[in-house]
Structure 1
Amino acid sequence: MSLLRVSGLSRSFGGLKAVDNVSFDLEAGQLLALLGPNGAGKSTCFNMVNGQLPPSSGSIRLDGQELVGMRPRDIWRLGVGRTFQIAATFNSMTVLENVQTALVSRERKTFGLWKSAGSRYTDEAFALLEQVGMGADAHRACGVLAYGDVKRVELAIALANRPKLLLMDEPTAGMAPKERNELMALTKRLVTEHRIGVLFTEHSMDVVFAYADRMIVLARGKLIAEGDADTIRNDPRVQEVYFGTGKTFRPHAPLHDRAGGEARPAGQGAQQ
């Protein structure tokens, strides 16, 4: 049985079908990239898996359990973690306190949180920070960290819930090439060690092709391609969607630009 099984997933906004009958599976220990140009339905699909947005139709099963109709909080308690495009940490709190807060929430021991969180789960919080290479910074405030280090702390926070499935929304957004490759190499190692399934959206094609085990591509709400790096890179439908064939597109746009290895669909801006 697949860890995550999405079947016939659709979501309409009025007469617009943002996601149209999308199906895919994700195995434990696998990184699956969700790709597509602006308006493809990536964010809508992502948010339905997380429970933030109810589907119009379809099924989302985690280890065989239906998630449709459940609240995000309940889905999180089943073992679905998430990181965000803009890192979500408490800047005024220390690195250690951020992870301790996540551990307190996991154990549902929030009474008197602000008075006692600092004395709870210290060893486990330190262990999580060591896993992501942030143990030496445990007592620093998150607000003074470099952005790449904040993303590492966010990963430790997500791991505090011992997730089966991790949803990562643009995990390397805003990071320099060296930082993003270090973060994804770390993620790949942890995913393999702990048998976590990862569904992630990403604009940096160097990251996608280097670290994703499989990829699925959406266009106008529909699933148009799925497979490994070679399959996706050579798929004519993907080339059409990303680079176009008309005069308004750059037909020879490279997958890796010189500045940072990030390729975007011609004429497109940031992912929605």
Structure 2
Amino acid sequence: MAEPLLSVRGLRKSFGGVHAVDGVDFDLAAGELLALIGPNGAGKSTTFNMVGGQLRADAGTIRLAGRELAGLPPRAIWRLGVGRTFQIAQTFASLTVAENVQMALLSQDRKIYGLWWRAAGHRRADALQLLAQVDMQALGDAPCSALAYGDVKRLELAIALAHRPRLLLMDEPTAGMSPAERHALMQLTRRLVSEQGTAVLFTEHSMDVVFAHADRVLVLARGRLIAQGTPAQVRADPLVQQVYLGSGAMLAPAAAQGGRVDG
């Protein structure tokens, strides 16, 4: 594996007496797609949110290219080159597709506060170029409210890329999408990662997406990392099979239904 862009060591977080994350270590290299999975209550959302700054770690280090992120607020982490997409896409329905990206460019240029009304005139050519990267340039003048859900998710990806992130955090990127849309979005993400050398850490419930598109997979159960490796290695791991197939006590209820693992 190449020198890691993101290095996480000894990450811990408790809520009352519950150890949600208990000593998690992992690395992520530039140009790599790393999936973080686990059954209900595994700690994956807590881990993900500590990396993004939405939660403060109780202990451990989170270093991006050697710079410590632990303890920084989300906006400071964003300024250091960490982008994010959300399970429920966050876009401005009242604006056009291009204006949504222009809003992100305004923020990148530190001109967002009090100047939202200038979005339509701000770096339109750059916004259209970003839309072209996600195959949406032709929809630049369409109202965001009229987009199909798959297009909204692609728009959110263009918005995240406006900051030129070194690390992209994708929270359930294919939630609510059809199987064809899921794989199309992840293929697009793979192409952009390859072209730009961005590292991607993503959580995902759809196991078909994980095993088809991740370079490596991290599996959490009860706050601890129980397996990591290529999709083939993780799929064959006996403890992972025990967790997901229901032969052990760590399995969450209905974990394997419909190819999804809830939590």
Shorter-chain TM range is over 0.9
Distance 1:246 1:23, change over 3 A: closer
2:150 to 137, 141, 148: 148
Change in CA separation of 1:19 and 1:138 when aligned onto 2, cut-off 3 Å? same
The answer to whether structure 1 residue 64 and structure 2 residue 66 are counterparts is: yes
1:30 corresponds in structure 2 to 32
1:263 aligns to what?
Answer: 259
Equivalent position to 1:137, from 133, 139, 155 = 139
Q: Secondary structure at the match of 1:82?
A: strand
Q: Which residue of 2 aligns with 1:3?
A: 5
Deviations 1:18-59 (A, max 9, x none): 000000000000000001001000100000000110001000
Counterpart in the other structure of 1:13: 15
User: Who is 1:119 aligned against?
Assistant: 121
Secondary structure of the 1:11 match is strand
Cα distance in 2 for residues equivalent to 1:65 and 1:93? 36
Q: Is 1:242–1:264's contact at 8 Å kept on the other side of the alignment?
A: no
Cα distance in 2 for residues equivalent to 1:68 and 1:197: 18
SS of structure 2 residue aligned to 1:216 = strand
Q: CA deviation digits over 1:119-169, x for unaligned, max 9? A: 111010000000001111111111110000000000000000000000000
Which of 208, 212, 215 is residue 213 of structure 1 equivalent to? 215
Alpha-carbon shift at residue 111 of structure 1 (Å) = 5.1
Q: Is structure 2 residue 45 aligned with structure 1 residue 49?
A: no
Consecutive unaligned residues of structure 2, counting only runs of 5 or more, are none
Paired amino acid for 1:19: V
CA distance in structure 2 between the aligned counterparts of 1:246 and 1:186, rounded to whole angstroms = 37
Pair 1:244–1:135, CA change in 2 (3 A): same
User: Residues of 1 paired with 2:174 and 2:142: CA distance?
Assistant: 22
Corresponding letter in the other structure for 2:19 = K
CA shift for structure 1 position 112: 4.5
Partner of 1:165: 167
Distance 2:113 2:70 in 1: 30
Larger deviation, residues 104-113 vs 22-31: 104-113
Asked if structure 2 preserves the Cα contact closer than 8 Å seen for 1:215 and 1:232, the reply is yes
Name 1:182's counterpart in structure 2: 184
| Aligned residue in 1 for 2:202 | 200
One-letter code of the match for 2:39?
A: P
Letter in 1 for 2:247: T
- CA shift for structure 1 position 264: 2.9
Superposition TM-score, scaled by structure 2 size: 0.95
Determine helix, strand or coil for the equivalent of 1:39.
Answer: coil
Runs of 4 or more, structure 1, over 6 Å off, are none
Letter in 1 for 2:82: V
Aligned-partner SS, 2:88 = coil
| Distance in 2 separating the partners of 1:93 and 1:39 | 37
Alpha carbon RMSD of aligned pairs, Å? 1.9
Q: Is the 8 A contact 1:32 1:213 kept in 2?
A: yes
1:110 to partner: Cα distance: 2.5
Instruction: In structure 1, give the amino acid aligned to 2:177.
Output: M
**2:260 maps to amino acid:** R
Q: Paired residue for 1:225, among 213, 221, 227?
A: 227
TM-score by length of 1: 0.91
In the TM superposition, what is the alpha-carbon distance from 1:244 to its structure 2 partner?
Answer: 1.6
The gaps in structure 1 that reach 5 residues or longer are: none
Determine what percentage of the aligned residue pairs are the same residue. 63
> Partners in 2 of 1:73 and 1:112 — Cα distance?
18
